[in-house]
Structure 1
Amino acid sequence: MPRPRKRDYDDLRRELIDAGGRLLAEEGPAALSTRRVAQATGTSTTAVYSLFGDKSGLVREMFLEGFERLAAAFAAVPRTGDPLADLLALGDAYRANARDNPHLYELMFGRPVPEFQPDPEAGRRIRPTFDALVAACARCVETGAFAEADPHDIAVQLNAMAHGLCGLELRGALGDADEATAHWNRALASLVKGLSV
């Protein structure tokens, strides 16, 4: 059998991560096994072990992949001359990424696999997504779009609001897409108004 090209490994890695995420989201942590993930992608458990080491390695890579996708979504947001519009665009990107990757979202921000705890290296790797939010908040403070405040504190508030809204939307608690968008817009407008005072 010919050795797969590098892109084949990359594709298989992504398929395994997505399969693991779907099993976890749809059936819970008990369903997340190397055998089930391999079956879902039509490959062998050997491939899972080769790429991730073991089940805990797979969970770690699922966690990191969720943040890599979020970082890519943030990186695709253009930086313009309007810092507030740019910040709101990051919020849109956060929401879109959650909707595109609901099977990874809970693992990124919750504890669906109780034994999984991100190690310091994983923490370092995911930090740039929050740093991007802090930097966007700092621009809003520097240009007067927000009142003088600590950009980190503002980022924590925005992150908490976005996370709460995403969690509710992914569970269907905000209604259909149009209703969810209306909730998002009202919440953002209220928060921005408070920060602008």
Structure 2
Amino acid sequence: MARPRSRDYVELRRDLVDAGAELLAAEGPSALSTRRVAQRAGVSTAAVYNLFGDKAGLVREMFVSGFARLADAFAAVPRTGDAMADLLALGHAYRASALANPHLYELMFGRPVPEFRPDAETAARIAPTFDALVTAVARCVDAGTLAPTDPQDLAVRLNALAHGLCSLELRGALGTTDEARTHWDAAFEAMLRGMTPHTTP
């Protein structure tokens, strides 16, 4: 019988992150132990300690991994000559990343593990995802398709809308996937329409 294929470092880290996040999402923080995470991933607890130091290190890595996957989704969005279309594409990438990683989403934006608070180093590691949104908004402001307002302020409002929609969708509150997409498109169309420059006749 062939021996099972061993996992490389990157694959093992991802498996442990997913195992921990799935346990947290399904059973809450009390279920999140190094032993149960290791069992779920099919490895020894030593692997958890070797890779993350302790449970707190694992939670930190779960948090950062969620944003790393979001950053990858953003990076996959091509930059075109249409700044507004690119901004909307980032919104859809945000939604797709949330749907692909629902077990990480609550940890990224909520407090399911009360004792975990990202330190300054961790906050710096996740900042590029929001910076990408600010850059996309700034392009729209520069192109005149969004009102001449501080891009960071507009980015905060768009991010809040995206987060609210994703949170509701992940809880099944927006209906089917197609219905949720309709709500998403309508909400963003209305919000962006309100952000466009208004001219007086």
Aligned to 2:154: 154
Aligned to 1:16: 16
Aligned to 1:91: 91
Q: Distance between the aligned counterparts of 1:69 and 1:185, measured in 2?
A: 23
Q: Distance between the aligned counterparts of 1:56 and 1:111, measured in 2?
A: 14
| 1:134 corresponds to 2:134 | yes
1:133-155: CA deviation from partner (whole Å, max 9, x where unpaired): 00000000000011111100000
Tell me how many residue pairs correspond in the alignment.
193
Tell me the SS of whatever aligns to 1:43. coil
Unaligned runs of 5+ in 1: none
| 1:124 corresponds to 2:124 | yes
Aligned to 1:55: 55
Aligned to 1:106: 106
Aligned to 2:71: 71
When normalised by structure 1's length, the TM-score is 0.96
Aligned to 1:176: 176
Q: Distance between the aligned counterparts of 2:88 and 2:61, measured in 1?
A: 29
Superposition deviation, residue 10 in structure 1: 1.1
Q: Distance between the aligned counterparts of 1:41 and 1:18, measured in 2?
A: 8
Q: Distance between the aligned counterparts of 1:93 and 1:185, measured in 2?
A: 13
1:85-121: CA deviation from partner (whole Å, max 9, x where unpaired): 0000000000000000000000000000000000100
Q: Distance between the aligned counterparts of 2:65 and 2:150, measured in 1?
A: 30
Q: Distance between the aligned counterparts of 2:182 and 2:75, measured in 1?
A: 25
| 1:43 corresponds to 2:43 | yes
Q: Distance between the aligned counterparts of 2:11 and 2:152, measured in 1?
A: 37
CA RMSD of aligned residues (A): 1.1
Letter in 1 for 2:91: G
Superposition deviation, residue 130 in structure 1: 0.3
Q: Distance between the aligned counterparts of 2:16 and 2:30, measured in 1?
A: 17
Tell me the SS of whatever aligns to 1:37. helix
Q: Distance between the aligned counterparts of 1:119 and 1:108, measured in 2?
A: 14
Q: Distance between the aligned counterparts of 1:137 and 1:11, measured in 2?
A: 35
Letter in 2 for 1:28: G
| 1:82 corresponds to 2:82 | yes
Q: Distance between the aligned counterparts of 2:65 and 2:42, measured in 1?
A: 21
Q: Distance between the aligned counterparts of 2:14 and 2:143, measured in 1?
A: 40
Letter in 1 for 2:34: T
Equivalent pairs: percent with the same residue?
Answer: 69
Q: Distance between the aligned counterparts of 1:142 and 1:39, measured in 2?
A: 52
Unaligned runs of 5+ in 2: none
Letter in 2 for 1:70: L
| 1:32 corresponds to 2:32 | yes
Q: Distance between the aligned counterparts of 1:129 and 1:74, measured in 2?
A: 8
1:36-92: CA deviation from partner (whole Å, max 9, x where unpaired): 000001111000000000000000000000000000100000000000000000000
Q: Distance between the aligned counterparts of 2:66 and 2:89, measured in 1?
A: 19
Q: Distance between the aligned counterparts of 1:132 and 1:41, measured in 2?
A: 33
1:20-44: CA deviation from partner (whole Å, max 9, x where unpaired): 0000001100001000000001111
